[in-house]
């Protein structure tokens, strides 16, 4: 059974870089034509798709974050990562990693990790 697990610092200072990793178990990041995505949810608020990476390495980002966000994949570790520099309090959220096919739902999710931006 596919499992995704987010990891990374839970506290990041303003203006610094938020870095998270999603480790996949029970399947390979290169198997099938999947997208691997990051989604975030500010506490008590709705869901926002950040972007994703295709198994081939192609990336797609939300226009509002495109200038800041980088999603990369490390096939040797079966992981993909998120980097978001120059964070502000507005980036405080639960960050989820997830998987989906084209036109299909996010069918596998990590448990989510809360990242707080504060000095």
Partner 1 sequence: DIQMTQSPSLVSASVGDRVTITCRASQGISSWLVWYQQKPGKAPKVLISAASNLQSGVPSRFSGSGSGTDFTLTISNLQPEDFATYYCQQASRFPYTFGQGTKLEIE
Among 5, 8, 17, 62, binds partner 1 (CB under 8 A): 62
63 vs 88, beta carbon nearer partner 1: 63
Contacts of partner 1 in 4-43 (CB under 8 A): none
Residue 96 near partner 1 by CB under 8 A: yes
Spell out the SS3 assignment of the chain.
CCEEEEECCCEECCCCCEEEEEEEECCCCCCCCCEEEEEEECCCCCCEEEEEEECCCCEEECCCCCCCCEEEEECCCCEEEEEECCCCHHHCEEEEEEEECCCCCCCEECCCEEEEECC
Where on the chain is the footprint of partner 1 (CB under 8 A)?
46-49, 51-52, 60-63, 96, 98, 100, 103-107, 109-112
């Amino acid at each position: 059974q596919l499992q995704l697990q987010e990891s990374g610092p839970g506290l990041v200072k303003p203006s610094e870089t938020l870095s998270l990793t999603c480790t996949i178990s029970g399947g390979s990041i290169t198997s099938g034509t999947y997208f691997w995505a990051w989604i975030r949810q500010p506490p008590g608020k709705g869901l926002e798709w950040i972007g994703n990476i295709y198994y081939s390495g192609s990336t797609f980002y939300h226009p509002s974050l495109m200038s800041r966000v980088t999603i990369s994949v490390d096939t040797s570790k079966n992981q993909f990562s998120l980097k978001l520099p120059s964070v502000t309090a507005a980036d405080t959220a639960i960050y989820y990693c997830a998987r989906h096919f084209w036109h299909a739902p996010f069918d596998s999710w990590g448990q989510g990790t809360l990242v707080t931006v504060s000095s």
